[in-house]
Structure 1
Amino acid sequence: MAVPPPSSDPLVPDPAKIRLREALKARRAAHVVEIGAEGATAAAEAAMRHILPHIPHAATVALYLALKEELDPYPLIEALHARGQSMALPALFDESAMRFLAWAPGAPLERGPMRLRQPLSSAPERAPDLIVTPLLAFDRHGHRIGYGAGHYDRAFQRLPGAHRIGLTWAVQEVDRIPHDPWDVPLHAIVTEREFIAA
């Protein structure tokens, strides 16, 4: 399987992916405005209920802290923390590869590239058994479109044994995602409506 090029390399962007990314950003933003804050909170809690039974108690789980209109994984973070689960968050330092650093609610965070809220660089690195990833679009074959930098695809390549689950709004589903040789498919996608095994 090909390895995705680093984001700093010159690339010829896939026009289909660019169009889809922009369309899904707009669709997501409109959906979040339509449902309002209460609807977004209820959706995040519903998504947590769909995914939680699929996470083994002994697994180290990598999650993320939501940005802007992303479906918020915080109810899942709280549920995993309550059952004593080991967790990590993605971290970016300079142009290096994404690392997953140990974190729990209440632990300090710092601002990283791309507005990422991440653990301090002194936090221990973890090799997650399961990675919960945000995305902009997905299909039912496990293909996803992220934000275009390739950080998660490179992490998936580096951690081939980790189970990969996308977390996103149901409105971000499309019939087919165009994909490159380095795109690593997900094992499942979770929305506020359902758990989708890819």
Structure 2
Amino acid sequence: MALPHVIRRSLPMRFLSWATEAALIAGPFGLHQPAEDAAELEPDIILTPLVGFDRSGNRIGQGAGYYDRAFLAHPNAWRVGVALSVQEVDTLTPDPWDVPLHAIATESDWITP
């Protein structure tokens, strides 16, 4: 299993190995993440927290671009958004740099655009 690891906004997010018994360290933005010396892994699936989404796979994130850059860096990874159903909107207009999701998981639905 790999978890996101962030150092600062100007650097890309990495996915570092994490064993469930290993302690997480405090990171920026209130994150808990694997230690910086953990092995970097190539993710098969990237679970992405959402602020909003539509059924076409468009999304609104936190605005820092970490996941857009991660999607581009790992083009073979399946992109899955995680949200509550109340975060769904009818339509979002993506920006040119936005990468659509392959699926969205909510507490009540599995959406595949």
The bucket for the TM-score relative to the shorter chain is: over 0.9
* Counterpart selection for 1:172 from 87, 94, 105: 87
Question: 2:100 — aligned with what?
Answer: 185
Q: Do residues 93 (structure 1) and 21 (structure 2) align?
A: no
1:7-86 alignment runs, 5 A limit: none
Give the paired residue count: 112
| Partner deviation per Cα, 1:35-80 (whole Å, 9 max, x = no partner) | xxxxxxxxxxxxxxxxxxxxxxxxxxxxxxxxxxxxxxxxxxxxxx
1:152-171 alignment runs, 5 A limit: 152-171=67-86
Higher relative strand content: 2
Structure 1 gaps, min length 5: 1-86
Question: 2:63 — aligned with what?
Answer: 148
1:178 is displaced (CA, Å) by 2.3
1:103 is displaced (CA, Å) by 0.8
Question: 1:26 — aligned with what?
Answer: none
Normalising by the residue count of structure 2, what TM-score does the alignment of the two structures yield? Answer: 0.95
User: Runs of 4 or more off by more than 3 Å in structure 1?
Assistant: none
Q: Do residues 123 (structure 1) and 38 (structure 2) align?
A: yes
Separation in structure 1 between the aligned mates of residue 55 and residue 97 of structure 2, nearest angstrom? 18
Larger Rg: 1
1:132-147 alignment runs, 5 A limit: 132-147=47-62
Separation in structure 2 between the aligned mates of residue 166 and residue 102 of structure 1, nearest angstrom? 21
SS in structure 2 at match of 1:155: helix
1:153 is displaced (CA, Å) by 0.3
1:137 is displaced (CA, Å) by 0.2
Instruction: Give the letter for the 2:31 counterpart.
Output: L
1:131 is displaced (CA, Å) by 0.7
> Alignment RMSD, CA only?
0.9
Normalising by the residue count of structure 1, what TM-score does the alignment of the two structures yield? Answer: 0.55
1:116 is displaced (CA, Å) by 1.2
